[in-house]
Chain A
Amino acid sequence: MLSEDLKNKYTVVIGLEVHAQLLTESKMFASDAVAYGETPNKNISVITLAHPGTLPRINKRAVEFAIRMGIACRSQISRYNIFDRKNYFYPDLPKGYQLTQDRTPICKGGAVTVKTSEGARAIVLNRVHLEEDAGKSLHLAGEADTLVDFNRAGTPLIEIVTEPVIRNADEASSFLTEVRKLVRYLDICDGNMEEGSLRCDVNISLMPAGSTVFGKKVEVKNLNSFSNVRRAIEFETERQATMLERGEAVASETRTFDANTGTTAAMRTKEELNDYRYFPEPDLSPLIVSEEWLQRIEAQMPSLPEELYQRFTAEYGLSDYDAQVLTDSKGIALYFQEICSKTQNYKAAANWMNGPIKGSMNERSIEIEDFPLAPEQIAALIALVDSEKVSFSVASQRIYPLLLQNPKLTPLAIAERENLVQESNQDALLPIIQEVITENPAKVAEYRKGRKGIIGMFMGEVMKKSRGKADPKVANKLLQQALEQ
């Protein structure tokens, strides 16, 4: 590990490029389907395969998804857009160029707010632009050839590019977490890093602390998990600092990360010779985003985690922690909101969410979307406790598990069926109390001599005889009255 001294001697400068696959039905410029895990070359078209004489056509929904991201990040939306060809040869890109937006990214600027140990910080974006994904090459060991699957080729992507303002692995990781949360809330990407729907490249350089001149930048490609992003940054920070300490020059290059060893290695220089020769794609006419179109997209924007957090803390009076946990995933936040539309006891709703419900989800390894109970039933459970018909512990430990097995029943029906409704009726409680007093004459005498503490023992007996149904408050009062007589 890097010593503290060395760490303080250099400032780390990091910029991220995040690629997010858009959740469209069809590809960016053709009507073949977008689907993960299909058999090879199932989703292809003459456009995807770059047959001569074919013309691409822009997917409207992909444009709207990119604009949603821009609105969420408060970017400036480009009204006039063209696409550019990025030229390079690789077999998973049959056209010999990737269609992307070089000159006119659909979203310019904006920011994503991340939570760091020092508080909230806005990570400023350079741009968000639209482009198409490439196919997948399969290099088999011992084989002379490469096999290519074009199912992924042409899948719409947004590339989110930050300014070089990220300072360490923690911030990079928080940024990725927030981006993933955002694209999921916006329903534009499933955020699944293992399947490659969300991928990240890291640009990283070091400069002496206090300097304003950036050092030579290294790009680490295709990191497919949060932990690999973190490990790559930590490794590069250490590698570059060590080189600078020795007086060696850091080469500006592209490196790949090896997840097995946790190290990075330079890619072959041949790939470094890339000269993309961008130029406007003549086959796609310009894309103009009218005020009316933009307003329509704005009107359809879903609630964002930040807005829900504000509502949960300000309107529902939840703690910072509760609000944070409840807005982590969109499904949870919306489910919680549903409960809150049926009850006024928001704190109880938060406790049910963060306690029993999350517990059941973990136990069954399910998402909230597959949770068997409707939000109304949780609201009904809360109402049952609030009306003092059952205690919270009876509700959560007895009724709730039965409700999970019988999601069609109401909590009250279960409470009645299982005879769990608290006895607050004095007529029902008095005989029990009388019985307890008659059975324990010695204890009664002790109590009357001043050992008031043993009322707990009487309460225990009352609860036992009522099989837990006695309303503790009422029973306590009646018991006291009976003992003082």
Chain B
Amino acid sequence: MKIDKQTLQKIAHLARLEFEEESAEAMMADLSKILDWVEQLNEVDTEGVEPLTHMSVEVNVLREDLSQEPLSRERGLKNAPEKDQDYFRVPKVLE
């Protein structure tokens, strides 16, 4: 499958990543190669086979509905790049 410039830009936007314009060609080629390689899987006949969503056989790992204070505000805010009293401060997102 060929990745074109538009798709490359869309993927970059969705992942909020920036790239150098001159590396675009190389990235398009790489991504196309990866997809081609993975596409080989399509040769396997999966008729009637349920998709495998989990590698583990474990099911129903549930918790009882009990609340604690697992993390204090102070500790939670400690790693925040920016804070404002009780709030996390982030770059403005409202357009």
Contact = CB atoms under 8 A, between A and B. Distances in A.
Interface of A: 24-26, 30-34, 39-46, 49, 51, 57-63, 82, 87, 89-91, 137-139, 143-150, 268, 270, 273, 275, 277, 280, 282, 284-288
Most buried by B among A39, A41, A82: A41
B94 A146 contact: yes
Contacts, number: 137
B88 A31 contact: no
A146 B93 contact: yes
Sorted nearest first, the 3 A-B pairs with minimum C-beta distance are A61-B65, A147-B87, A33-B67
B90 interface: yes
Given A49-B76, A137-B93, A275-B14, A60 B86 contact: no
Nearest to B58: A285
B82 A41 contact: no
B77 interface: yes
Interface in B44-88: 53-56, 58-71, 73, 76-77, 79, 82, 84-88
Q: Is the interface of A mostly helix, strand, loop or mixed?
A: loop
Nearest to A58: B62
Contact of A57 (B53, B62, B68, B91): B62
A59 B62 contact: yes
Given A149-B87, A286-B53, A286-B59, A60 B64 contact: yes
Interface residues on B, range: 35 or more
Most buried by A among B58, B79, B88, B91: B88
A82 B53 CA distance: 8
A143 B94 CA distance: 11
A350 B41 CA distance: 69
Interface of B: 10, 13-14, 16, 53-56, 58-71, 73, 76-77, 79, 82, 84-95
A44 B92 contact: no
Most buried by A among B16, B64, B67, B91: B67
Given A25-B65, A49-B71, A146 B56 contact: no
A33 B69 contact: yes
Q: Is the interface of B mostly helix, strand, loop or mixed?
A: loop
A144 B92 CA distance: 6
Contact of A145 (B10, B60, B79, B90): B90
B65 A60 contact: yes
Nearest to A39: B86
Nearest to B50: A80
A148 B65 CA distance: 25
Contacts of B13: 273
A99 to B, nearest CB: 14
B16 A150 contact: no
Nearest to A55: B61
A147 B64 contact: no
B65 to A, nearest CB: 4
Contacts of A40: 73, 85-87
29 contacts: A24-B65, A25-B65, A26-B65, A31-B70, A32-B67, A32-B71, A33-B69, A41-B88, A46-B70, A57-B62, A59-B65, A60-B63, A60-B65, A63-B62, A91-B88, A139-B93, A144-B92, A145-B89, A146-B91, A148-B90, A149-B86, A149-B88, A270-B95, A282-B54, A284-B61, A285-B56, A285-B58, A286-B54, A288-B59
A30 B70 CA distance: 9
A389 B82 CA distance: 75
Contacts of A82: 53-54
A275 B71 CA distance: 33
